[in-house]
Amino acid sequence: MIETIIATVSMPAFYDKPRNVANILSLLAQAVSGGARLVVFPEQILQGYLTDTLSLDFDNVAWQFANAEVMESGEGIGRIREAVIQHQVYAVVGMTERHPRYPDVLFNTVVLLGPQGEVGRYRKVHQPGNEKHVYYPGEGFPVFDTALGRIGMLICYDKVFPESTRELALKGADIMIMPTAWGLAGDNRDPEQDSMVDSYTLFGRVRALENQCWLVESNLHGAHGNLLYHGHSRIIDPRGNIVADTGNAPGIAMASIDIRGAITRARSTGYMGYFFLKDYVPVRILESELTVSHHVIQPAGE
């Protein structure tokens, strides 16, 4: 059995990029000192997330455009990349990415950094609310080979759609990484009973279990823009069990895990011997079946 220490971070974001970078570097060093070989940070942690997704804040839109970075030459992401190389580990960081040739094109992106630099990036496909007015959607769900195993990435709202994680699993992902900016609904005085925490937990555990692979979530914590974020950055095993959790607090959740061994056990003996991906039959819907017939009801004659 080969075990690997993985860390996931719950932290506040600020509309102050140098402050965010300093916090990322500090927490990265802290996680590495604890033996972590993979450290996951939240969605949009480099620049700060939108004020919220339900009201278009033009000052914040201007902030995103002014502070977006081209991946290859951005100062902030460059400092983080250098630190990851120095530590000889892997890290996933959320950011606003600017297209290298078209300055008016932004993406909500997470980048996978490794001992040699950038391993790969993922641009958010499913965009809620006013993200549609700011970012271009990404295309596809790539999976990347690393020394730790095959890693696929998603962002926040993507986990609402089961096809997203299923595509990663079908491509052989061992670890699905999910940076998020998942806020509280504010519909309960106890944050642990908040409906958005409940759905966050439900989606996370189900996505890990139904694909029988690891899921690592990293969420913002505290007040940011118009929202209050609940943390709960987690490591969830291939049977849907939460094995590490920051809770409703900033901090680092860490776990020493047997990445491939746990997946093999989950897919052989873990769930009555069922291997879900092997038994999976893709659903094929004919175009004719998608056609909705509209019947006009004629009013009765007088």
Quick one: tokens of 296? 């006009």
Tokens linked to 133:
């007015």
Give the pLDDT confidence score for residue 283 in this predicted structure: 75
For β-strands 149-153 and 143-146, DSSP reports them as: antiparallel
Bridge-partner residues for 245, per DSSP?
Answer: 234
For residue 3, give Cα distances in angstroms to 7, 223, 258.
13, 36, 4
The predicted pLDDT at position 252 comes to 98
Residues of the chain under the 50 pLDDT cut = 293-299, 301-302
3-state secondary structure of 257: strand
Q: For residues 41 and 133, give the distance between their C-alpha atoms in angstroms, rounded to a whole number.
A: 24
Q: How far apart are CA 22 and CA 19, in angstroms?
A: 5
Beta strand 149-153 with 175-180 is: parallel
Q: What is the pLDDT of residue 302?
A: 40
CATH superfamily of 4-290: Carbon-nitrogen hydrolase (3.60.110.10)
β-pairing, 251-257 vs 38-40, is unpaired
| Residue 291, pLDDT score | 54
> How far is it, in rounded angstroms, from Cα 249 to Cα 229?
9
Q: Any idea which residue has 């092997």 for tokens?
A: 278
Continuous H helices in the chain: 17-33, 58-67, 75-87, 131-134, 162-170, 195-211, 259-265, 276-279, 287-290
Alpha-carbon gap, residue 145 to 172, rounded angstroms: 10
pLDDT of residue 284: 72
The per-residue pLDDT for 296 is: 47
Can you tell me whether residue 108 is helix, strand or coil?
Answer: strand
Give the side-chain half-sphere CA count within 13 A for 56.
8
